[in-house]
Structure 1
Amino acid sequence: MSVLFQLSVMWVILIIAFIVIEALTFGLASIWFALGSLAALILSLLGFGFVIQLIAFLVVSIILLFFTRPIAKKYLKIGTEKTNIDSLIGKVGVVVKRIERHKVGQVKVEGQIWSAKNIDNDTIYVDSQVEVLRIEGVKVIVKIVD
């Protein structure tokens, strides 16, 4: 077996290993090394030596890792764990304890009572309808429904 063939086999094994690791973790960490291994495999098949292959593997992997991973994480939402609380955003609730300026009141949303602050800092009275804009800790930030 020639050295170039052995190197090609090694790069194929690395590609498979990195893809399997990525499939098991979904962390967008090892896929970039799989692509770096693919670049090295192509150079191996073209007859380039191991040092050139290794440099290509490192350069391609690092460039992809640092420049495309943040973009991929942003659009694929990798590492973001959604909770049921996120489903409250946009829901309408009813004020059960007056929300005064710079003070916390309470609203009932989806059958649960939440501490609430008004985004506009105006007073919102009991039985007013409010929309949940966001969640900060254990408080919902609301605005009155027009």
Structure 2
Amino acid sequence: MDWLSEHAWAAWLGVAAVLGAAELVSLDLVLIMLAVGALAGGVSAALGAAVVAQILIAGVASIAMLALVRPGLVAKLHQGPELRLGHSKLVGQRAVVTQRITGLNVGQIKLAGETWTAAPYDEHITIEPGATVEVFEIRGATAYVHPVAELGE
């Protein structure tokens, strides 16, 4: 018993290691929070705290990790990146008109470094070369665009 009281930090470290290894199997982020609590108990043991204080510190640290840290981590892991694939990722981007666009004749724009066939979203307008447009929709290989209102207009 004397050895255990003198080396309680090692016992806490062992508990933390077992909990950490078990977390690799469960992947629910509960056991790793308990492992952090065990590490806090180990630190308190290394600093000479009484066994009751070690247990209280480990318990409080575990509960704090479960209540404060785990929910944010779980939410972050369950929230994936917004995936916009294909042409839909171009909708909303701005482009520059390189060839006149009218309701009767399609023109061209420079969009994301590529030349695209473009038509006006509103077929009653004409968009001159050099104008900045926003892509409203893409149908097939044609971008339907609308001029961007410049400040001061």
- TM-score, normalised to structure 2, is 0.49
What stretches of structure 1 of length at least 5 have no aligned partner? 93-128, 130-144
Identity in percent: 21
| Aligned partner of residue 48 in structure 2, secondary structure | coil
**Structure 2 letter corresponding to 1:23:** L
Partner of 2:50: 49
CA–CA distance in structure 2, aligned partners of residues 38 and 9 of structure 1:
10
CA–CA distance in structure 2, aligned partners of residues 22 and 62 of structure 1:
17
Partner of 2:39: 38
Instruction: Please list the CA deviations of residues 13-72 of structure 1 after superposition, one character each: whole Å capped at 9, or x if unmatched.
Output: 101111001111211111111111111101101111110000000000001101111111
CA–CA distance in structure 2, aligned partners of residues 2 and 13 of structure 1:
15
- Point out the structure with max Rg over C-alpha: 2
Which consecutive aligned stretches of 4+ in structure 1 deviate over 4 angstroms post-superposition?
89-92
| Aligned partner of residue 27 in structure 1, secondary structure | coil
Aligned residues: 92
Task: Quote the offset at 1:5 in angstroms.
Answer: 2.7
- TM-score, normalised to structure 1, is 0.52
**Structure 2 letter corresponding to 1:10:** A
Task: Quote the offset at 1:90 in angstroms.
Answer: 5.3
Confirm or deny: 8 A CA contact 1:44 1:50 kept in the other structure: yes
Confirm or deny: 8 A CA contact 1:8 1:41 kept in the other structure: yes
Report 1:1-146 matches (<5 A).
Answer: 1-75=2-76, 77=77, 80=78
What stretches of structure 2 of length at least 5 have no aligned partner? 88-138, 146-153
